[in-house]
Amino acid sequence: MTESLLLSAPAASSSGTPGPAERVLPLRRPGRWAAAVIVLVLVSQASHGLITNPFYQWDRFAYWFLRPVVLDGLLITLQVTAYSAVLGLAGGVLLALGRLSGNVVLRSVTWTYIWLFRSVPLIVVLLFLYNFSALYPTLSVGVPFGPAFFTFDESRLATDIVVAVVALSLCEAAYAAEIVRAGVLSVDQGQHEAAAALGLPRRYQFARIVFPQALRSIVPSYVNQLIGLLKATSLVFYVSLLDLFGSVQSLASTYPGDVVPLLLVATVWYVILTSLVSVVQFYVERYYARGALRTMPPTPLQQARAHLRDLRIRFRKETAP
């Protein structure tokens, strides 16, 4: 029986190349191709409707896209996002350290802060701070229940952009604190013990050893939170600050026939900004992955080159005689 099987097996050619019967055929995947065709049809229909529907008024979209009033609102959006992101992350680090502290007072106060600002909607915080001068017309720094060293008018200090940045930073710090705390807890306990064995002060242990390793877990989550912050800036319109959405909303009330193209202008700008943040996120994650991965993840350009190379190799194999 064994001998007959060996005799019936196709013989290889004298040159060492496999015969026609030995060629490995690729696995057929009809379901995958059918799904790809369905998706392409749906995308084509959606694109055709988006381009040909006159209700979108693409000519008006092109007119408004780079208008100075829209770009001014975009600049305010970027300013509010940048200030709130930096202050929110700094506050989140301090709150996370308070949550991880051995002091029961610090743990209780930071936990209460995080619980409060994660429970209250952002629009409520914005409106409350916007009307804060009605509760406290003047603010002072001094001895509690004693003399004041500095006194200033709150209404002059709390401009619209200051109110927006403070409100967003307060809420952002509460979410960033949990992200930072989760990142610190993800660091292996042996790293903490090794840092303590070196005799380093606690602040150096955190800044030089623990926190850089925690950034690998912090960066993806915080960038996701940053994208949410970028979109949340659209709420500052309710405190009389004309950001990108506020400018578009104001123009839409003045030009009611251009409501849809103006909304498309805001949509495209938000998509561009979030895409840029995602690109930055990729390279920051790649930077902090140097000490944890044997090989660095390929960049999008490297992935495209590898994909084209695989396609050329597959085409040569399939067309080879």
Identify the residue whose tokens are 């709420």.
235
- Whether 290 shows a pLDDT value over 70: the answer reads no
The answer, yes or no, to whether residue 258 has pLDDT greater than 90, is no
Tell which phi-psi region holds residue 199, choosing left (phi > 0), alpha (psi between -120 and 50) or beta: left
Q: How far apart are CA 116 and CA 125, in angstroms?
A: 11
Q: Is the pLDDT of residue 22 over 50?
A: yes
| Residue 152 main-chain phi, psi, to 5 deg | -145, 160
Amino acid residing at 195:
A
For residue 9, what pLDDT band results from cuts at 50, 70 and 90?
Answer: very low
The residues with which 153 forms a beta bridge, in sequence order, are 138
216-240, pLDDT tens digit by residue? 888 888 888 889 899 999 898 888 8
Helical (H) or strand (E) element with 141: strand 138-142
CB atoms within 10 A of CB 226: 21
The b/e string for 261-286 (b: 16+ C-beta within 10 A; e otherwise) is bbbbbbeebbeebbeebeeebeebee
Which tokens in the block code for residue 57?
A: 């008024």
Q: For the whole model, what pTM was predicted?
A: 0.76
Kindly give, in sequence order, each residue whose CB lies less than 8 Å from that of residue 195, ignoring residues fewer than 6 positions away: 205, 208, 209, 210
- At 105-159, the pLDDT tens digits run 999 999 999 999 999 999 999 988 888 877 777 776 766 766 766 676 666 777 8
pLDDT (tens digit, 9 = 90+) per residue, 168-185?
999 999 999 999 998 888
273 Cβ neighbours under 8 A, 6+ residues apart? 77, 78, 230
Supply the pLDDT for residue 4: 45
Per-residue pLDDT band for 167 (boundaries 50, 70, 90) equals very high
- Please state which of the ranges 13-17, 151-155, 248-252 shows the lowest mean pLDDT: 13-17
Question: Distance between CA atoms of 159 and 100, rounded to whole angstroms?
Answer: 35
Tell me how far CA of residue 284 lies from CA of 11, 90, 115, 131, in angstroms.
55, 18, 30, 39
pLDDT at 63: 92
Query: For the residues of 36-51, what is the DSSP string, one character each?
Result: HHHHHHHHHHHHHHHH
Q: How sure is the predictor about 202, in pLDDT bands with cuts at 50, 70 and 90?
A: confident
- Hey, what are 314's tokens? 């597959």
CA atoms within 13 A on the CB side of 278: 8
Sorting pLDDT into bands at 50, 70 and 90, what band is 56? Answer: confident
Q: What is the pLDDT of residue 134?
A: 74
DSSP 142: E
Report the percentage of the chain scoring pLDDT > 90.
33
Phi, psi values for residue 158, rounded to 5°? -85, 80
Q: Which residues contact 305 (CB under 8 A, 6 or more apart)?
A: none
Which amino acid, 300? P
- pLDDT score, position 3: 44
Give the tens place of pLDDT for each residue, 87-101: 999 999 999 989 988
**Length of the chain counted residue by residue:** 321
Helices (H), 208-258: 211-232, 244-254
